[in-house]
Amino acid sequence: MNGPLVNVTDLRVEFPSLTGPDVAVISGLDLAIEPGQVVGLVGEAGAGKTVLARSIMQMVPEPGRVTKGRAELQGEDLLTMSERRLQRVRGARISMITANPRGELNPLLPVGEQIATMARVHLGQGRKESRETARAMLRKVQISDPDRRYAAYPHELSGGMAQRIVIAIALVCGPQVVIADDATSGLDVTVQAQILMLLRDLAREQNSSMLLITRDVGITAHVCDRIAVMHQGEIVEAGDRQAVFLRPAHPYTIMLLAAFSHNKRLRALWSHADADKAAPARGEQACSYVGRCPLAQARCRAEKPMLRMIAPGHEARCHFPVVR
Ligand SMILES: Nc1ncnc2c1ncn2[C@@H]1O[C@H](COP(=O)(O)OP(=O)(O)OP(=O)(O)O)[C@@H](O)[C@H]1O
């Protein structure tokens, strides 16, 4: 296959505003995911991470709508796909895991049956075979006593166990891409790490790519091959994990890393830079970070920077990237 597995280009998503014209919460966004790659999408609350994930699934929350761009899976645009075709693609070739496992599960159906149903619908398995597949999946997500748990209802499971079931459902068809949107944020810290590692290992085992969305930069340091940093609906930096962590180039990335640092002085730097009052609205002809940027110059207010290469495989949307 030539080209990335998932290729989002020039995506724009707008929401109506009560007081004026529609607001673009995502604009000019490009993001590529290669086969087998784990891409971390990081950024603070409201950056547009969930809207991006849901756009790829053609599930933009109402009343939002995609007004521009493409989101291709192996060259086929998901954004213009018929609902009928999408039903075959979602769950089978691309699946999503969110922070609310109980909300995803059917409260009236034993959890094993929910996994087996996926195998019946998407893999064409019969009743007996799909039950075997579901049991095997329960073992893979490390649910103890899988035969007994097969018959359990969602309310009988802990949050961590419910999330393991959601992961089993998401992975049972061997999708090419898994989107994990804040998938562990509702769980205890110790369980979070276990579930993330499990998710990564299982995805790797079946060569699924993964888009791992989180506000917690620390999580991406352990799990991801590549990091994309999102700010106000735009990717402001993207690169291999090593490059972004060791040589962050966009001032926003530097601040984001400082916010997660153990170093108190670095964290203080972040809180000083956090005054967002002068930030321009999304889509204006200025850098989206100019109001908070300690390195901003006149050009940053007058001209919107493009995402451009600063080293092979490393890009930043900044007129004055910090290059070392
Ligand atoms: N249903 C909606 N109606 C109006 N605006 C919305 C809606 N959903 C999202 N938005 C807007 O889109 C922006 C991006 O939201 P999104 O949920 O994608 O952020 P996020 O980066 O995923 O944040 P978090 O880390 O808190 O999940 C928000 O600032 C919000 O204004």
- Expressed in angstroms and rounded, the spacing between residue 225 Cα and the centre of ligand 1 is 26
Residue in 238, 175, 169 with CA at minimum distance from that of residue 209:
175
Task: Give tens-digit pLDDT for 221-269.
Answer: 888 999 999 999 999 999 999 999 999 999 999 989 988 776 666 666 5
- Whether residue 214 is predicted with pLDDT greater than 50 in this model: the reply is yes
Ligand 1 test: best mutation among 22, 25, 60, most atoms within 8 Å of CB? 25
Mean pLDDT on 42-52 = 93
Which run of H or of E encompasses 214?
Answer: strand 209-214
Please give the pLDDT value at position 274: 53
CB atoms within 10 A of CB 275: 10
Helix 159-171 to helix 127-140 angle (10° resolution) is 130
With a Cβ cut-off of 6 Å, ligand 1 is lined by: 15, 25, 43, 45-51, 61, 64, 182, 215
Cα–Cα distance, 37 to 241 (Å, whole number): 12
Q: Which atom of ligand 1 is nearest to the CA of 230?
A: 21
Q: Return the bridge partners of 40, or none.
A: 212, 227
Task: Give tens-digit pLDDT for 127-167.
Answer: 999 999 999 999 999 998 998 999 999 999 988 899 999 99
| Farthest CA pair distance, the chain | 68
Q: End-to-end CA distance of the chain: give it in Å, rounded.
A: 35
- Expressed in angstroms and rounded, the spacing between residue 133 Cα and the centre of ligand 1 is 37
CB atoms within 10 A of CB 120: 17
Sign of the torsion formed by the C-alpha atoms of 303, 309, 311 and 317:
positive
Q: Are 189 and 201 in contact (CB under 8 A)?
A: no
Task: Give tens-digit pLDDT for 55-91.
Answer: 999 999 889 999 999 999 999 999 999 999 999 999 8
Tokens 């547009």, located at residue? 48
Does ipTM come in above 0.85? yes
Q: Are 126 and 180 in contact (CB under 8 A)?
A: no
Structure tokens at 175: 């999708």
pTM, full prediction: 0.90
- Whether residue 285 is predicted with pLDDT greater than 90 in this model: the reply is no
Q: Are 28 and 12 in contact (CB under 8 A)?
A: yes
Cα–Cα distance, 55 to 96 (Å, whole number): 12
